[in-house]
Structure 1
Amino acid sequence: MSLHISRGWPGQQHMEAECPCPTEACGYVDTSKVVDACEQHPVARAKTIRSSHDSRACPARNGERSVS
């Protein structure tokens, strides 16, 4: 299982837009695809993750984008 994570609050993707990690259809980053060079998403960087959801229950499956 992986998570889709975001450093921003729901509706904010400015932090994800400025990093090298690919984003999913919901606008969040999949934890299984985090890029080592990223300063925002690797667990070792210890940055705050403000929004997330299980990749299996991604709201983008229902046509939604950037939700918590």
Structure 2
Amino acid sequence: MIRKLRSIVARGILLLVVVAGLGFGFMAAAMGVIVGALLLLGFRLALSADAATVRWGSSDKDAPVEGSAQPNPMAI
């Protein structure tokens, strides 16, 4: 295709368009990798935050019994 273009300017424009397209594709791929890594990091942080609220070694006997007298933190 480039051999059919006789003008140096036309060849230059075609090559510029091809390079711009490749650059855009590589940039989009890099952004996809970065977004995927951030999503994975956020997911792992969410899991670690959930894991931090779990008391290791606790059992059901430590759980409050329904109807038992528990202090109300919202009481004045």
TM-score normalized by structure 1?
0.17
Larger-gyration structure (1/2): 2
Q: Larger % of strand: which?
A: 1
Query: Is the helix fraction higher in 1 or 2?
Result: 2
Higher relative contact order (CA 8 A, sep 6+): 1
TM-score, normalised via structure 2 length:
0.16
